[in-house]
A = this chain, B = another copy of it.
Amino acid sequence: MTLPKILLQFDPDPHPSSFDGVVAIDAGVDHLFQYSRVTPHDVRELVYGAIFTRSPKQLHSTAIFIGGRDVKAAELLLDEVQKTFFGPMRVSVMLDPNGANTTAAAAILVVLRHIAPPGTVAVLGGTGSVGRRVARLAASLGFAVRVVSRSLERATDVCRDVAQQTADGKTLVSPFSSETKADLQEALKGVDAVVAAGAPGVELLSQPQRDLAHSARVFVDLNAVPPLGIDGIEVNAFDVQQAEARVYGAIGVGGIKMMLHRTAIVELFSSNNVILDAERILALGRTIAN
């Protein structure tokens, strides 16, 4: 007998995300337990309730989703969750605070529709939670990655982190500033793809600046709040031709993001030992795309 699928939603925010809740239900979760204001201190007891209530063979029907708006806070919860597991006493976990992992994976899936590694991907706003993940995923696939930020210092930090996380001796991750036009020209010179992953309502690339990336065959803007991240790309754009490139807006990418989110929730219940972070979610998406 298969037990009902129970998902424990851990959220550090004052209210658990209704977005994550609805997606969970639409992915087939039978019972959703939403927990808000979850801190690392609360995790052990909540995880005990997940792992000590069903036999190891049944634990694939229980899972944990870690969300909320604060990516760092969510990552701390994941650490604590994994520390609490032992031996077969574990359940699958998905990490997707602020939609950062599913959004980054969706952006890369879109890029892969048009270019393949090796090639060069510029990540504008590359130091935010989504941008870091886009850079990490691109690097792990073998792309040369340019992390672009107003602050060269922060871009350098991200590159070091990404290089460590994807260390295979072949990764090429370089920091670039976007402060001056000359900086941006340098950052975009010869790139094959541009992903804008900045804050909502912040333009990162004006129409004239797009010419600096004339070699790019694909542009992806992940900002859905006007002013958009890349001027001239409609928020709904999906695989639209503009000059020599195909362009995607945030809502255009959103359909793939939602599909990834649902697919990942379904995957949680296939076993009791997967940790679905950006890399695993991207891998899931690539399996489906093929």
Contact = CB atoms under 8 A, between A and B. Distances in A.
Nearest to A30: B25
A113 interface: no
Interface of A: 3-4, 6, 8, 14-23, 25-26, 30-35, 37-38, 42, 45-50, 52-54, 62, 258
A145 B34 CA distance: 44
Contacts of A23: 53
A89 to B, nearest CB: 11
23 contacts: A4-B25, A6-B22, A14-B42, A15-B38, A15-B42, A16-B35, A17-B49, A18-B35, A18-B45, A18-B47, A18-B49, A18-B50, A19-B53, A20-B49, A21-B49, A22-B54, A22-B62, A25-B30, A26-B53, A26-B54, A31-B32, A32-B33, A33-B34
B18 A8 contact: yes
B22 A53 contact: yes
A25 B15 CA distance: 22
* Top 4 closest pairs, chain A to chain B, by CB: A18-B49, A19-B49, A22-B53, A18-B46
Given A15-B42, A19-B48, 7 more contacts: A4-B25, A16-B35, A17-B45, A22-B49, A22-B50, A23-B53, A53-B258
Contacts of A22: 6, 49-50, 53-54, 62
Contact of A15 (B15, B30, B46, B258): B46
B25 A6 contact: yes
